[in-house]
Amino acid sequence: MPIFGIDLTFIVLIPAMILAMYAQSKVQRTYDTYSRVGLKSNMTGAEVARTLLDNSGLHEVKIERVRGNLTDHYDPRTKVLRLSDSVYANRSIAAAGVAAHESGHAIQDKERYAPLKLRGAMVPLASIGSRFSMILFIAGLFFSETLISVGIILFSVTVLFQLITLPVEFDASNRALQVLEGYQIMEDGEVKKAKKVLDAAALTYVAAAFTGIMSLFRLILIRNRRNN
């Protein structure tokens, strides 16, 4: 029941919102800090990625530069690794860590890492869920219990997608940290600093998954309240 015009179910989202804001702030602060610390090997992010890909037998994977800050990603459909402006030509510990992480996704793809394949298979359903779940849920509040249930089911798919993303991201970071020192791209002390960058980035995925879970819980509360 709303009090003073406030929906009390919104309270369940507050911890998730706090975690999300903290995670975003932490990843930005950590990246900014280590983007100003030069890599002793003096390699750019693109050179780090190329080294890791080639040493993993992934010569066919292309590296492209994309606009933006921390917009880095690997596309398993086109076998292209895209590095942002802040990583591609940057010779810092942060850039090397991010480039190695994205290379880790390419290695996962080569090795047919199961969670990565499952996440890829879920992309169409997750896309539908993110687009239409709330529309159906809100429409259901006015018209039909069935629409509410369909909306919740679709939203559940997006939450499941976020949960499956967690092991994919953690594994890519672990792979990155293992090879950075192994290929003499970083010294031990530099690897520890790169780990701080990747750990901060991983926290944003944890925050996203937690937000998704709490949002789903809120939708269920609203549905149950309506039924009562």
Catalytic residue among 47, 102, 169, 190: 102
The two structure tokens encoding residue 41: 């090997």
181 forms bridges with which residues in the sheet?
Answer: none
Does 102 qualify as catalytic in the annotation? yes
Rounded Cα–Cα distance for residues 80 and 103 (Å)? 10
Quickly tell me which residue has 């949002």 as its tokens.
215
CB contact at 8 A, 179 and 106: no
CB contact at 8 A, 98 and 76: no
The two structure tokens encoding residue 11: 């309270």
Rounded Cα–Cα distance for residues 194 and 197 (Å)? 5
73 forms bridges with which residues in the sheet?
Answer: 82
Q: Which residues are catalytic?
A: 102
